[in-house]
A and B are shown apart, each in its own frame.
Chain A
Amino acid sequence: MSGGHTSTPVAARVRRLEARLIEAGVVAEAQLDAALAAMLKGASPVNGARIVARAWTDAGFRERLLADANAALPEVGLSMAGGIQEQRLKVVENTATTHHVLVCTLCSCYPIGLLGPSPSWYKSEAYRSRVVREPRAVLAEFGLELPDDTAITVWDSSAESRYMVLPRRPGGTAGHSEPELAALVTREGLIGTAAV
Chain B
Amino acid sequence: MAEFRAGERVRVRAVDPVGHTRVPRYVRGHRGRIVECQGRWALADECAAGVAEPRTEPVYTVAFAAADLWGEGGHEVTVDLWESYIERVQEDGA
Contacts and interface: CB of A to CB of B under 8 A. Distances in A.
B65 to A, nearest CB: 11
Interface in A126-160: 132-136, 151-160
Chain A interface SS verdict (over half): mixed
Contacts of B22: 106, 158-159
Interface string B36-75: 0011010010000000000000010101001001100111
Q: How large, as a class, is the contact surface on chain A?
A: 20 to 34
A136 B76 CA distance: 11
Contacts of A134: 73
A70 to B, nearest CB: 10
Residue in B61, B75, B79 with the greatest tally of chain A CB atoms within 10 Å: B75
Nearest to A98: B76
A88 interface: yes
A153 B75 contact: yes
A90 B38 CA distance: 9
Contact of A159 (B26, B44, B69, B70): B44
25 contacts: A90-B38, A105-B24, A132-B69, A133-B73, A151-B74, A151-B75, A152-B75, A153-B63, A153-B76, A153-B77, A154-B77, A155-B78, A156-B78, A156-B80, A157-B80, A158-B79, A158-B81, A159-B22, A159-B44, A159-B81, A160-B41, A160-B44, A160-B80, A161-B38, A161-B59
Interface of A: 88, 90, 105-106, 132-136, 151-161
